[in-house]
């Protein structure tokens, strides 16, 4: 673990002055507890991740996919973490750290709702009051997760500005934090934001690659040829790649949301994708210098993905740097391909993946010939939260892998 504040030209601390002392306090706490393990923080984190979180997660050999692609495909099952996504690794780490710091209240933002759910669960587990900011658009398309947050006792504050998605929710949470900074910790949901968040969130998520690397060696005696993870903000991506970073023979693929198209409507300020690594430009947003979807003036664009969890105009600074370095290849797949992969994995392996993870599986489908003999794909979360979206989006498309749902018509159940 290391506590670097910049990654090449990216990263840094671009925040309003009112937040700087909190950022410094957090950076200090990160050094003491997470890196230097003061107060046996790391032991407590790992114990809670095992008993409450259900770690380690399996690395499953995917028989049908392996046969289909004529390669050994392994799935890292982060969908089996408590709450149904990798997000708990970070949320539990940060809420525990807030507890060690003596903070009294937790705030967080959420897009797909998985981070909000994980934070609400972690806060309930550790008995901390918790408020979640969520865009109105996302509340509408992620109702099950909103309900789960409320079940766990968290307040959910709707954000109506802009398009009502993650970017606006982040801005709103920063505002809350600027007002309550002395007693409140902001659980940032990805490897984004000002230092120390990108490094700290990566460290909490690095358990994914720590386990996966060991597990793949146990199963095959060797390292994989390729590791795939979907990339929105980039937390499961960095977590999945971190311990493979120095393994030069392992190719790392960050699969972004190509949305409807990689083209950009600059006039309307809209990018019909969330592919900031593939198409973004360097800039400063939400506390860090990184790659962003922005117009030529520097105004941030509205992004799009069928997957709310990938729908963000920026990306983690370390991931942007690893792409620039050539260590990570940034690729993307569109909404349609992701939906096909969602259905395919559900039918062929009995796993309903998050729409985020379906992007990585879609890339495997399209490019399996180029990925080598052994491939690890991170299934970052489970897809239960996405079912309403998938029903609606599938109904608007002619998808090869979609199931025949005429049974509903036969019994008069709609569709």
Partner 1 sequence: MGLERAFADGPAFVPYLAAGDPDYESSLRYVEALARGGADVIELGLPFSEPMAEGPTIQEAVVRSLEAGMTPDRFLQFVRDLDVDVPLVCMTYYNLIYQYGEGEAQRASDASGETASRGPRAFVEAAADAGIEGFVVPDLPAEEAGPMREACDEYGLDLIFIVAPTTRGERLDAMQQHTSGYVYVQARLGVTGARDDVSDQTEESLARLSDWSVPKAVGFGIKTGDHAERIVSAGADGIIVGSALVDIVAGGHENDDPAADVADRLEAKARELKEGAVRGAQDRPQPEGK
Q: Which residues bind partner 1 (CB under 8 A)?
A: 12-18, 20-22, 24, 161-162, 167, 171, 174-175, 178-182, 269, 281-287, 292, 294, 296-300
Task: List % helix, strand, coil for the chain (3-state, nearest 5).
Answer: 45, 20, 30
356 is an active site residue: no
One-letter-per-residue 3-state SS of 92-110: HHHHHHHHHHCCCEEEEEE
- Token output for 384: 């239960």
Check 303, 380, 385, 393 and give the catalytic one. 380
Cβ contact 381:85 at 8 Å: yes
109 is an active site residue: yes
**Burial (Cβ within 10 Å: 0-12, 13-18, ≥19) of residue 264:** middle
My answer on whether omega of the bond before 196 falls inside 30° of 0, hence cis, is yes
Least separation in angstroms between CB 97 and partner 1: 20
Closer CB to partner 1, 36 or 281, in the complex: 281
Least separation in angstroms between CB 179 and partner 1: 4
Least separation in angstroms between CB 229 and partner 1: 27
Least separation in angstroms between CB 147 and partner 1: 28
Closer CB to partner 1, 11 or 259, in the complex: 11
**Going by DSSP bridges, is the β-strand pair 105-110/59-61 parallel, antiparallel, or unpaired?**
unpaired
Closer CB to partner 1, 20 or 391, in the complex: 20
Closer CB to partner 1, 246 or 267, in the complex: 267
Check 76, 99, 103, 109 and give the catalytic one. 109
Neighbours of 296 (CB within 10 A): 7
Least separation in angstroms between CB 266 and partner 1: 12
Check 76, 78, 87, 356 and give the catalytic one. 87
- State the Cα–Cα distance between residues 379 and 362, nearest whole angstrom: 12
Closer CB to partner 1, 181 or 275, in the complex: 181
Query: Which residue has 């790992």 as its token pair?
Result: 46
Closer CB to partner 1, 31 or 329, in the complex: 31
**Going by DSSP bridges, is the β-strand pair 226-230/374-379 parallel, antiparallel, or unpaired?**
parallel
Least separation in angstroms between CB 397 and partner 1: 31
CA-based max dimension of the chain: 62
- Token output for 35: 């890196």
**Burial (Cβ within 10 Å: 0-12, 13-18, ≥19) of residue 239:** buried
One-letter-per-residue 3-state SS of 43-71: HHHHHHHHHCCCCCCCEEECHHHHHHHCC
E strands within 63-167? 72-77, 105-110, 130-135, 155-159
380 is an active site residue: yes
- State the Cα–Cα distance between residues 73 and 368, nearest whole angstrom: 10
Q: Indicate which residues carry an active-site annotation.
A: 87, 109, 380
């Amino acid at each position: 673990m290391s506590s670097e504040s910049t990654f090449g030209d990216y990263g840094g601390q671009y925040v309003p002055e009112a937040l700087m002392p909190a950022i410094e306090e957090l950076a200090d706490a990160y050094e003491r507890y997470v890196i230097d393990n003061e107060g046996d923080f790391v032991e407590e984190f790992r114990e809670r991740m095992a008993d409450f979180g259900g770690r380690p997660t399996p690395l499953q050999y995917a028989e049908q996919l392996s046969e289909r692609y004529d390669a050994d495909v392994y799935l890292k099952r982060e969908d089996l973490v408590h709450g149904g996504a990798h997000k708990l690794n970070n949320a539990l780490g940060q809420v525990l750290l807030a507890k060690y710091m003596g903070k009294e209240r937790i705030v967080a933002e959420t897009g797909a709702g998985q981070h909000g759910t994980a934070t609400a669960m972690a806060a309930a587990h550790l008995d901390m009051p918790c408020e979640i900011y969520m865009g109105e658009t996302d509340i509408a398309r992620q109702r099950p997760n909103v309900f789960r947050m409320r079940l766990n006792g968290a307040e959910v504050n709707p954000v109506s500005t802009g398009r009502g998605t993650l970017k606006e929710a982040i801005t709103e949470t920063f505002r809350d934090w600027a007002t309550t900074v002395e007693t409140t910790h902001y659980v940032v949901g990805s490897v984004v934001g000002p230092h120390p968040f990108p490094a700290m969130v990566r460290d909490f998520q690095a358990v994914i690659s720590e386990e996966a690397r060991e597990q793949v060696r146990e199963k095959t005696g060797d390292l994989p040829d390729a590791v795939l993870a979907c990339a929105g903000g980039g937390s499961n991506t960095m977590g999945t790649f971190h311990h493979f970073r120095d393994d030069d023979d392992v190719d790392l693929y960050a699969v972004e949301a190509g949305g409807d198209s990689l083209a950009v409507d600059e006039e309307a300020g809209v990018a019909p994708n969330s592919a900031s690594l593939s198409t973004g430009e360097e800039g400063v947003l939400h506390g860090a210098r990184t790659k962003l979807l922005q117009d030529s003036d520097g105004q941030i664009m509205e992004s799009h993905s069928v997957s709310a969890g990938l729908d963000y105009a920026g990306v983690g600074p370390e991931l942007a740097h690893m792409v620039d370095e050539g260590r990570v290849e940034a690729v993307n797949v569109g909404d349609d391909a992701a939906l096909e992969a969602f259905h395919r994995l559900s039918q062929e392996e009995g796993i309903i993946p998050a729409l985020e993870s379906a992007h990585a599986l879609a890339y495997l489908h399209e490019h399996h010939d180029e990925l080598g003999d052994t491939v690890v794909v991170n299934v970052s979360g489970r897809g239960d939260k996405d079912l309403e979206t998938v029903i609606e989006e599938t109904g608007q498309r002619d998808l090869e892998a979609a199931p025949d749902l005429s049974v509903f018509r036969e019994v008069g159940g709609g569709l």
